[in-house]
Amino acid sequence: MTPEALTGGFTNAATDAAIAFRAALEAMARPGTLHRMAGVIPPAPLSPAAGALLLTLADTTTPVHLAGAVDCPAVRDWITFHTGAPFAPADQADFAVGGWAALQPLTRFRIGQPDYPDRSTTLIVELPALSTTGATLRGPGIRDTAQLSLPEIAAFRANRALFPLGFDCYFTSGDTLAALPRSTLVEEA
């Protein structure tokens, strides 16, 4: 384990984790809204927002799958030290982290079961930028419509068609976070 793995976590773990958890809940409850996740400095190429999500949501009982550039020794050591989360193949992970292209094909991730739709993988998608422009979103938590810069539309339409099964997504860029639950309808802008 590298010495860098021991740094970059929450300064005041209880308070910072509670603030990050609230931001994660707000993002999922209000699709298309942007939220700031501060207080974490994970090793590159993991963004601060993705790092804060992992510190808040992952623990020794939540297998994590790393894809693409984030699957490196520095990130693995950091996650191990700060959360104790085990690493798993895509089809066994509770959380999967990586860029959109690295997470493909999405069919390798769990979408839940009819009796237990919550037994699905939550994707943490690292993006170069996030904005409230792009695809139009409708559904629970959205007053009329919202917009969000998604990496594509077809995958999220197909995911919505599986409801109540499917995956939920967090999108991260720098210290910014947005979410798209499987219940959201996604349309062209």
Kindly report, residue by residue over 111-126, the tens digit of the pLDDT. Answer: 999 999 999 999 999 9
Q: How far apart are CA 147 and CA 150, in angstroms?
A: 9
Q: Is residue 2 pLDDT above 80, yes or no?
A: no
Q: Is residue 94 pLDDT above 90, yes or no?
A: yes
Q: Is residue 131 pLDDT above 80, yes or no?
A: yes
pLDDT of residue 7: 87
Q: Say which CATH number the domain at 141 has.
A: 3.40.50.11310
pTM comes to 0.96
Percent of the chain with pLDDT over 90: 92
User: How confident is residue 146, by pLDDT bands cut at 50, 70 and 90?
Assistant: very high
The answer to whether 141 and 30 are in contact (CB under 8 A) is yes
Distances (CA, A) of 70 to 14, 26, 132: 26, 25, 25
Q: Is residue 3 pLDDT above 80, yes or no?
A: no
The parent domain of residue 155 ranges over 3-187
Compute CA 139 distance to the chain's CA centroid, rounded to the nearest angstrom: 20
The answer to whether 68 and 102 are in contact (CB under 8 A) is yes
Average confidence score pLDDT of the chain: 96
The tokens 């090793």 sit on which residue? 43
Q: How many domains does the chain have?
A: 1
